[in-house]
Amino acid sequence: MPRTPNTRLRRLMETASWSPAQLAAAVNAVAVEHGQQMAYGRSTVSRWLSGTTPRPPAPAFLLEALARRLGRPVTAYDAGLTSIPARTAVSDLSWQADPLRKLAVLTSADTGPTRRHHLATGVFTLTALAVPEAADLARPTTATRHAPPSSTSRVGRTEVEHMQTMSRLFAQAAEDHGAGHVQPVLNYYLNHSVTGWLHAPATGVIQRQLLIHASQSMTLLGLMSADCGADALAQHCYRTAAHLAAEADDMTAFAIALRALSAHAHELGHHTPAVHHLAERAADATRRAPLAVRAYTHTHLAVTRAHHDRHAALRTLTTAERLNDTTHNTPGPFTTYSTGALHYQRAQTLTTLGDHKEATHALTASLRHRTTDERRAATLTRARLAETLLVQGHLDAAMVHWQAFLDTYPLLHSARATRSLDAMRQLLRPHSRHHTAAHLLAQATGIHP
């Protein structure tokens, strides 16, 4: 049977001013970001235009490439990949949806295997960095919510304190062992306890506190999802955290969610103006926040500014350090900012600015300030310090830190640590004739991520 030409895809390409070869190159680039090597070319796109439906995972990469070029989300229907403008797997996660509904969708094991797979393995999208203003997200939706039949009892301060305690426990467990085994437990807790409390009768004060802690927990779930390599799911968690914070009218929690969303994109190698703008919004939203949160947002702002303005980056870094010096930390994942973390961000800023020597000093300081409760962070800092030393030609010094990294790596279940392991293998391969380097490579080969 003759195929029907894909006119919708052709129109999108015309709007994007892309030739078939340019579209193919953009799709290949998105695929590489997600760990896959594709060899699409002009002839491949010509077949798509003639009506051939690309096989997975090509559609996801195609839609993301078009969305980035056009600056807006592009659906499968928009691109002519389906004839039915069907409800998408993440349609319940739009900004128009109730944030409590979004929390339930993201954490429920009953969303169905197709949707759960999509949320866990979906494509990281830059269009997700477009976040409305908090005032535009805050809506009086609580009056229309009803408690589930099994959750009719009134909730109060006990549930709020329970959420605070559990956030500390989950955050510490992820720091000790990586997020791999902790994320599913937090997911279950949010779905089976927190969701019910958010729908139960409560005073206005308690309802607001529940929303704030739910926002923080969703940010924590996003951080854990990113550490598990579920980057699309992490984005949805951060966006939902921002929405919950906006409904609670809490700019501190809103800023933390924006900072996490921006930092996640930066960690994946995206240094676009959109990433920087989100970091700016996060810092601006902390004007009345505790000093620890202000330092937290400003260090990341310095990192993003380093890609655009050297002097602005250094000024922002100085501001962050001054804020941190005057901070009186309250224990907790959202009330404290460690000195080790600040020095790590300082090193990131200096590395981007090309000052590897000072970045080495910052990473050394970061490692020195890491406490025994920061095992995952210390391990990742070791890996980054080794990479920075190698850039400067200090192979022997680098291998000392890579050995320490390998000693701790098996204790972590972390996709980010696995990426550091892969980077170590790649960087040491040219030095494989060196006795110690060969030993490290052999040791790394025996490690199963």
Residue 176 tokens read as 């000790």
Same domain, 359 and 381: no
Same domain, 116 and 235: yes
CA distance 268 to 126: 11
User: Which residues, including other chains, have CB under 8 Å from residue 143's CB and lie 6 or more apart?
Assistant: none
Which of 321, 336, 369 is the endpoint of a domain?
369
Which of 320, 348, 369 is the endpoint of a domain?
369
The distance in angstroms from the start CA to the end CA of the chain is: 47
DSSP 8-state assignment for residue 150: T
164-205 per-position pLDDT tens digit? 999 999 999 999 999 999 999 999 999 999 999 999 999 999
Count up the domains in the chain and report the number: 4
Q: Which residues of 375-396 are buried (b: 16+ CB within 10 A; e: fewer)?
A: bbbbbbbbbbbbbbbbeeeebe
Same domain, 166 and 291: no
Same domain, 126 and 227: yes
195-224 per-position pLDDT tens digit? 999 999 999 999 999 999 999 999 999 999
The confidence score (pLDDT) of residue 118 equals 58
Q: Is 177 domain-assigned?
A: yes
Measured CA to CA in angstroms, residue 287 lies from 252, 278, 297, 305, 356 at distances of 9, 15, 11, 19, 32
131-161 per-position pLDDT tens digit? 999 999 986 544 445 445 444 578 999 999 9
Same domain, 112 and 189: yes
Same domain, 122 and 229: yes
Same domain, 163 and 307: no
Q: Is 268 domain-assigned?
A: no
Is residue 117 predicted with pLDDT exceeding 60?
no
Q: Which residues of 347-370 are buried (b: 16+ CB within 10 A; e: fewer)?
A: bbbbbbbebbeebbebbbbbbebb
The confidence score (pLDDT) of residue 144 equals 43
Same domain, 365 and 384: no
Same domain, 220 and 145: yes
Q: Is 170 domain-assigned?
A: yes
Collect contacts of 156-159 with beta carbons under 8 A, ≥24 apart.
Answer: 156/202, 156/203, 156/206, 157/206, 159/197, 159/206, 159/210
CA distance 68 to 270: 12
Which of 79, 114, 143 is the endpoint of a domain?
79
Same domain, 67 and 98: no
Q: Is 426 domain-assigned?
A: yes
For range 413-417, the mean pLDDT = 94
The confidence score (pLDDT) of residue 417 equals 96
Same domain, 309 and 437: no
Is residue 28 predicted with pLDDT exceeding 70?
yes
- Provide the greatest CA pair distance for the chain: 73
Q: State which residues form the domain around 42.
A: 7-79
Q: Which amino acid is at 238?
A: Y
The confidence score (pLDDT) of residue 94 equals 84
Confidence of residue 113 (pLDDT cuts 50, 70, 90): very low
Strand segments, DSSP code E, in 202-336 are none
Q: Is 345 domain-assigned?
A: yes
53-92 per-position pLDDT tens digit? 999 889 999 999 999 998 888 888 899 998 776 554 445 6
The answer to whether the beta carbons of residues 429 and 441 sit under 8 Å apart is yes
Q: Which amino acid is at 171?
A: A
